[in-house]
Amino acid sequence: MPGPILEARGLHKHFGHLHVLKGVDLLVQERELVFVIGPSGSGKSTLLRCLNRLEEPSAGSITVDGIDLLDRRTDINKARQRIGMVFQSFNLYPHMTALGNVALALRKVQGRGRAEAEARAREALDRVHLADRAGHYPGQLSGGQQQRVAIARAIALEPRVMLFDEPTSALDPELVGGVLAAMRELRESGMTMVVVSHEMGFARAAADRVIFMDGGRIVEQGPPAAIFGAPQEERTRAFIGQIE
């Protein structure tokens, strides 16, 4: 059996005196969709940001696809390409088309020539059903379409793992479905995913495992039916009770 594609052990993160991650172990198997829930401030974003080294963990180890992310000898820019990330805010360049935004990452990060970058960018946009919007600027796209462009930008780099931090939280309700559908398709294509979100319906339908975090620790984890239907820990019960 292959080992986990993403393996974080004993992760701690301090911001000054604030101890935000207090020993998190997270193993993610290939093709697994891990869904992370927990109260605001529990450390979910910090965990994701540590996983692709947007934040430097204070202690612990992270291995992605066999590469030690925290080893000084690891080329972090190369390693980071194995981990795509999508944020609540889409961060597209407003003066560039959808195609331009996706192609830019391929040119800057992977050093591809214009023609190849654009061909790959078109393929990525096609995967999120935006091939017909390639020439549109962000301002001409809905929030949901912009987020799908951001997903295309990430998957164009062919990551091994995709991290999503509240990808639909900034969207009007009617636009959420399209983004979740794109994520479902990505998952069905075999992508390994870690998703922080409040979309519990999506978790029930698509997650292999749900992790509940509180106070910088993983309090409880299990299949969605178990976590939502029969949580074992009092804190999990209280949280689930609030949101459902």
Q: For residue 233, which phi and psi values (nearest 5 degrees)?
A: -95, 140
Q: Which amino acid is at 95?
A: H
Using CB under 6 A as the binding rule, whether residue 242 contacts ligand ADP is answered as no
- In contact, 106 and 157? CB cutoff 8 Å: yes
Between 44 and 127, CB nearer to Mg ion? 44
Q: Which of 1, 2, 17, 40 binds ligand ADP (CB under 6 A)?
A: 40
In angstroms, rounded to a whole number, what is the distance separating the alpha carbons of residues 119 and 170?
Answer: 30
Residue pair 204/35 in contact by the 8 Å Cβ criterion: no
Burial 201-211 (b: 16+ CB within 10 A, else e): ebbbebbebbb
- Secondary structure of residue 3 in the 3-state scheme: coil
Vertex 213: Cα angle to 27 and 37 (nearest 5): 90
Nearer to Mg ion, 117 or 196 (CB): 196
DSSP 168: T
User: Binding to ligand ADP by residue 37, rule CB under 6 A?
Assistant: no
Torsion on CA atoms 62, 66, 72, 76, rounded to nearest 10:
-90
Of residues 102 and 227, the one with the C-beta less far from ligand ADP:
227
x/- letters, 125..164, toward Mg ion (CB under 5 A): ----------------------------------------
Window of 26-34, 37-45, 97-105, 204-212 that interacts with ligand ADP by CB under 6 A: 37-45
Q: Is 45 in the site for Mg ion (CB under 5 A)?
A: yes
Of Mg ion, ligand ADP, none, which one does residue 197 interact with (CB within 5 to 8 Å by kind)? none
| Residue 66 is a binding residue for ligand ADP (CB under 6 A) | no
Residue 197 binds Mg ion, judged by CB under 5 A: no
Residues that bind ligand ADP (CB under 6 A): 15, 18, 20, 38, 40-46
Residues that bind Mg ion (CB under 5 A): 44-45
